[in-house]
Structure 1
């Protein structure tokens, strides 16, 4: 006999307990149930407690819930603003004609949609309730709930993708995070330890993984790109460049996840598309519209007809999404397009969505590094190396090119570092004299060049300026 924990609503005493613990709104407290301790050995934080509470309340693996949120938004609710596909909060509860997780969460928890959209604990509880309902429909028993591998189908359903390859991409992203482990960018107390997992992919195990190169369908326009076509009603069939000259490349930010954005272009309700989308973590790229056809991306028909639209996974208000891997991969495509269509490699012709006449969008936003990107487009692609020499001890890593920026880590004496670009900043005196040059060794990670042996006195030739 299969035993299941009912999806029950909490009583008011339980809700009051959570209000006192987290200071949450009354409605979200009533949804989440009793306040629970974070996992053993974990530091306590409001988000940590909210995940532990929701996971226990709905009998959903806590780490699975955290990984889902990280895959969708990197656990940033973006002030309740919706994603491009109508997803809200750090768990991306969605309301569009094809995906209704926000509405399902409201029905399961009894919470108003406005609360689920804006209250972090309510948003987490809503996602847990939805996942649990999917697990119940899939026939998972109470004994199954602790086996994270068996929740694969529930994660697939949560993503809402209709294309099997995109559905697998979405769920695999969550499970890859569980295997690797991670720490929430804005909350060091919220962590997931890596572990070995065997996901039960079911029928999707027979679906080629999207963009793996030797399997699946690849683009005929651009070799590195996987092919996942947009819905036919989300773009216009054409015969470019003979019908329309291609004069521009338009840079976008998805305001959503990689897999979620590709899936959105396949949704008949989207009425939008882009030619290419890049993934933040590794620069992987998927094509959704052939270059000869007109993607609906710029909000201006004239510019649509004359441009290639490139989306980049992330959110405009969070620079951590804009990785070197994504910059370099995207710039390689833009350079390819410029050479193919005779587009000048300058900022008059390689533009952001915000620069399209009549644009109502602000992407790629102030965190997009145009100087670095255009250097890469124009072939300044070298990566420098250096050896850290402190004379003993460690060298502070800063979030920006100067001593006024926050310390975000350290590098050991004698360590070899990769230098992606260099910037001018605070003047520092160190092992190799006095210098105002700072080396970027990762996303928002800088060290003073005064402590780094690069083989050059000053800037490194062929390494971009940040």
Structure 2
């Protein structure tokens, strides 16, 4: 089993080298850390019963794939929720269903399963069958749009871990600049995963923008560190709150909101900044998950609140609803994240509590 898992992971890993600097960014593309694999048994998440269990089994039997692997992918991608995704990053299609199928994979999966694209989007059985058909045709890599090698390896590890078959990467990083990570990040517990998609601010930092990725954690940060995506954020918080990635230093301008400031969208506050492109004045935080989901894990909210407390202290940003706002609030024409079920009052109170505000 160790050999099978290792081979499956190796199939998802490519090799990249240091590239030239982006024209607007001092960050270079660096080689993915060397990875070795160790087997570590764990409690399978797939032992948890869900209302989709019979559908996973039926689809697995029909297409000759593993029901546990299907269920694990669904856990990693959506935590077993039937999502109606939205576009968060231009160029990355919205994800649908418990398997989070999107774009060409959604179309191909529907065709292979003999169902309509709409059925594969909105019907759980059709969605899972489409994913099973893709898995049968091309293996695990058929179920992800991740292209960054480290991200592809991490996706495979997460799927294996959900089955209790954890394949743990052991990374060794070269110490030589410029490819070694910095000695410190802005948020002490963050993992540095540099994105080349940033440039210089023209104004001071005065607000925080809250986003949802419209996808899972690894796919999210992997998209944002890809030069071709032309988007980024300063931070990404994973579903459980156990990990935060920093992609852009706070002093720099991430490419995370396509809107100019309009005080009419923010309770008439600070109208003197009207017309300022909001990337110049904000720090952007992406959260693994979807604007359509019913709720957000308390542990994720807590980690995000700790992060916002930390950065608002350092940047001198007031901790209130005028300065900590949603992506959809400030870009309402085509974004809704973090969605109607983001607990704003509770979240702001968490932030203030961690900072000891009275």
TM-score by length of 2: 0.70
Contact 2:309 / 2:355 at 8 angstroms: preserved in 1? no
Q: Give the drift of 1:380.
A: 4.5
Contact 1:278 / 1:286 at 8 angstroms: preserved in 2? yes
CA distance in 1, matches of 2:136, 2:181: 33
Aligned to 1:345: 319
2:198 to 236, 241, 244: 236
Structure 2 runs not aligned, ≥5 long? 1-46, 174-179, 261-276
Aligned to 2:192: 227
Aligned to 2:144: 159
CA distance in 2, matches of 1:254, 1:44: 24
> After alignment, is 246-255 or 258-267 more displaced?
258-267
Kindly tell me: are residues 333 and 43 of structure 1, through their superposed partners in 2, closer, same or farther at Cα, counting changes over 3 Å?
A: closer
Residues 1:112 and 2:87 are matched in the alignment:
no
Aligned to 1:15: none
Kindly tell me: are residues 44 and 324 of structure 1, through their superposed partners in 2, closer, same or farther at Cα, counting changes over 3 Å?
A: closer
Aligned to 1:364: 338
Counting only pairs closer than 5 Å after superposition, residues 6-405 of structure 1 correspond to structure 2 as: 47-78=52-83, 80-82=84-86, 84=88, 85-86=92-93, 87-95=95-103, 100-135=104-139, 154=140, 156=141, 158-179=143-164, 197=165, 199=167, 205=169, 207=171, 217=181, 220-230=185-195, 232=196, 235-238=197-200, 240=201, 243-267=202-226, 270-301=229-260, 302-320=277-295, 322-356=296-330, 360-380=334-354
Q: Give the drift of 1:343.
A: 1.1
Q: Give the drift of 1:217.
A: 4.7
CA distance in 2, matches of 1:176, 1:61: 15
CA distance in 1, matches of 2:228, 2:78: 22
Aligned to 2:272: none
Structure 1 runs not aligned, ≥5 long? 1-40, 136-153, 180-196, 210-215, 383-461
Superposition RMSD in Å: 3.1
Deviations 1:160-212 (A, max 9, x none): 32223222322222222222xxxxxxxxxxxxxxxxx254x8xxx56569xxx
For the residue of structure 1 that corresponds to 2:342, the secondary structure is coil
CA distance in 1, matches of 2:205, 2:212: 21
Contact 1:83 / 1:255 at 8 angstroms: preserved in 2? yes
Aligned to 2:10: none
Aligned to 1:147: none
Contact 2:233 / 2:254 at 8 angstroms: preserved in 1? yes
CA distance in 2, matches of 1:339, 1:299: 26
Aligned to 2:30: none
Contact 2:239 / 2:297 at 8 angstroms: preserved in 1? yes
CA distance in 1, matches of 2:143, 2:205: 38
Deviations 1:1-31 (A, max 9, x none): xxxxxxxxxxxxxxxxxxxxxxxxxxxxxxx
Q: Give the drift of 1:354.
A: 2.7
CA distance in 2, matches of 1:161, 1:262: 10
Kindly tell me: are residues 285 and 81 of structure 1, through their superposed partners in 2, closer, same or farther at Cα, counting changes over 3 Å?
A: closer
CA distance in 2, matches of 1:342, 1:262: 27
Kindly tell me: are residues 360 and 77 of structure 1, through their superposed partners in 2, closer, same or farther at Cα, counting changes over 3 Å?
A: same
CA distance in 2, matches of 1:358, 1:169: 33
Contact 1:299 / 1:358 at 8 angstroms: preserved in 2? no
Kindly tell me: are residues 44 and 372 of structure 1, through their superposed partners in 2, closer, same or farther at Cα, counting changes over 3 Å?
A: closer
Larger radius of gyration: 1
Contact 2:105 / 2:142 at 8 angstroms: preserved in 1? no
Contact 1:165 / 1:208 at 8 angstroms: preserved in 2? no
Q: Give the drift of 1:333.
A: 1.5
